[in-house]
Structure 1
């Protein structure tokens, strides 16, 4: 029979280890984390080690992003129903800034439509557009981060002899052009 001698630590040893761990964690917080994350350097060691530069770079990037977002269109969501006439096509567009994010989902009442999800650059007069998805379906769900400012949206074509209703749910930074 094998006997294992497992050491049992006393309460005094466990308290001592916990206090040492708490002291080390506090030192790491004061010397490393506060200077590098929040540009707070009570000891001056963060500056000497170059950690405050990290906080300044991160803060500068965050400020630039916040400034860009404040100049753009506010985040919102909409749900719309769009009727596509029989044997006709229809476009539905959103005005969006460069790198704006859009989450979307659309569905019909079960009848498939040909569609082209695409964007047209702001101010372009050549007729250029970039397609993101082209197929025939009765639904689609996805997201888009716009590669350029301009008009982005869908062209749906109904090849049936009856109108088809598209229910579109969108969330992002956009203005509805219609």
Structure 2
């Protein structure tokens, strides 16, 4: 059986975890996991989990992660992204009025159903969310740093961070030994 390559992506709300996961899936021809879902693929990119030290320890007891990506995005950038973020509640599709707007304002591109903005995406709630993330994420980040699998990326634009993540994953994935029944992703 082929060795699976398991990765997790961490970052505060609005840091681009979903966008990075989609790019990983597209670039490597794979699927990604978001919180609450489980699939087996040659890479598992899991957005938003683990969120706490207890979750990280539970995950470690089940699987050994090969890589953890931590996204460090400035507060002002997060505030701008989240205040412009609208979501299709049925599918979870995310739109950003600044750089990824729906074709028809306020409507999902696929279903035409109304988009919503979560109360906790509004600027007045954001600071509390970011403080909470920082408090719970620090021990998780420290755990993965101590295991030597944490890779942090900082910036304000996903397009500028992505090439570094892509390069890291290409290097790490190609270093994984695979058996004769599975070929490596390009």
Q: Does TM, scored on the shorter chain, surpass 0.5?
A: no
Pick the structure with more strand per residue. 1
Give the TM-score normalised by the residue count of structure 2.
0.21
Pick the structure with more helix per residue. 2
